[in-house]
């Protein structure tokens, strides 16, 4: 099970270090749950240095699919690896919505991340209008299949999927546990088609739609929910650690 915090465009370097240090201290040794935080890119190096000798892992929120070159403002996978990144969030709905990312560009990033030993957290999920039109499975199937086209993994831990119903991100709305389980089970089937049953059963599928301490137990107790990609609740150490504790009880 994996609990990952996506800090989005929040924290400066001082508050990022303080938050990471507090979380790392509070979680102790959280086995069998893995715990990660994904700060803004400018803070990744300092956060990674701060938690280097703890159980807390570090990820980035995005990366480019080229090794180097004239790509102003971008960050390469090699750069992330060099500063201690373990995970990288790719294809988040906000990247797709605000920055025009497509299934093709997301796929290129996923393949490059795996090539460099980074574990991509591939985000997929439907908008409210798509769910109301009964298109949620079509949308998620397209995003999973295209996002993972040509992707080869050596072991299940080389890939994480995060299901984020876009209508439940930052809106206060949350998919019901039954809705989350239904979609996670569907995604598991898509992974089975590509990677085989054993690998698909072991790949972690996170729920990424406003998980918080109040709903974590119900969501994490679902058969195919293997953790959470946490937004707002990850910016408060007590809230985030409470979700980690839920995961530890249920793992």
Looking at every residue in the chain, the average pLDDT score rounds to: 96
Confidence check: pLDDT of 142 > 90: yes
Confidence check: pLDDT of 41 > 90: yes
What Rg value do the Cα atoms of the chain yield, rounded?
Answer: 17
Confidence check: pLDDT of 172 > 80: no
CB 164 within 8 A of CB 208: yes
Query: Which residues on neighbouring strands pair with residue 37, listed in sequence order?
Result: 5, 58
Confidence check: pLDDT of 10 > 90: yes
Going by pLDDT thresholds of 50, 70 and 90, the confidence category of residue 169 is confident
Average pLDDT score over residue span 77-95: 97
- Specify the residue for token string 């959470």: 228
Give me the pLDDT at residue 30, please.
87
- Specify the residue for token string 């093709």: 104
Confidence check: pLDDT of 107 > 80: yes
DSSP 163-207: E--GGGSSSS----HHHHHHHHHHHHHHHHHHH-HHHHHHSEEEE
Selecting among 86, 92, 116, 184, the annotated active-site residue is 92
Give me the pLDDT at residue 119, please.
98
Selecting among 94, 130, 136, 164, the annotated active-site residue is 164
Average pLDDT score over residue span 109-117: 97
- 92: annotated active-site residue: yes
209-225 confidence digits (pLDDT tens):
889 999 999 999 999 99
Give me the pLDDT at residue 81, please.
97
Share of the chain above pLDDT 90, in %: 94
- Tell me whether the omega of the peptide bond preceding residue 32 falls within 30 degrees of 0, making it cis: yes
Give me the pLDDT at residue 52, please.
96
- Tell me whether the omega of the peptide bond preceding residue 156 falls within 30 degrees of 0, making it cis: no
Give me the pLDDT at residue 173, please.
75
Give me the pLDDT at residue 18, please.
98
């Amino acid at each position: 099970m994996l609990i990952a915090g996506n800090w989005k465009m929040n924290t400066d370097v001082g508050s990022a270090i303080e938050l990471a240090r507090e979380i790392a201290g509070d979680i102790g040794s959280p086995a069998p749950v893995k715990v990660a935080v994904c700060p803004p890119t400018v803070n990744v190096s300092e956060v990674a240095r701060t938690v280097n000798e703890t159980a807390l892992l570090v990820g980035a929120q995005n990366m480019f699919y080229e090794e180097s070159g004239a790509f102003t403002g971008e960050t390469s996978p090699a750069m992330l690896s060099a500063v201690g990144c373990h995970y990288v969030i790719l294809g988040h709905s906000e990247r797709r919505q605000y920055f025009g990312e497509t299934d093709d560009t997301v796929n290129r990033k996923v393949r490059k991340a795996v090539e460099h030993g980074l574990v991509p957290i591939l985000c997929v999920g439907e908008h409210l209008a798509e769910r109301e039109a009964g298109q949620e499975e079509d949308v998620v199937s397209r995003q999973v299949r295209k996002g993972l086209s040509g992707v080869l993994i050596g072991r299940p831990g080389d890939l994480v999927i995060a299901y984020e119903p876009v209508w439940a991100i930052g809106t206060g709305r949350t998919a019901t546990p039954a809705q989350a389980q239904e979609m996670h089970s569907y995604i598991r089937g898509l992974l089975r088609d590509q990677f085989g049953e054993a690998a698909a059963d072991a790949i972690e599928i996170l729920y990424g739609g406003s998980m918080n301490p109040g709903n974590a137990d119900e969501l994490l107790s679902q058969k195919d929910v293997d953790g959470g990609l946490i937004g707002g609740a990850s910016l408060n150490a007590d809230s985030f650690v409470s979700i980690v504790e839920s995961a530890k009880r249920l793992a």
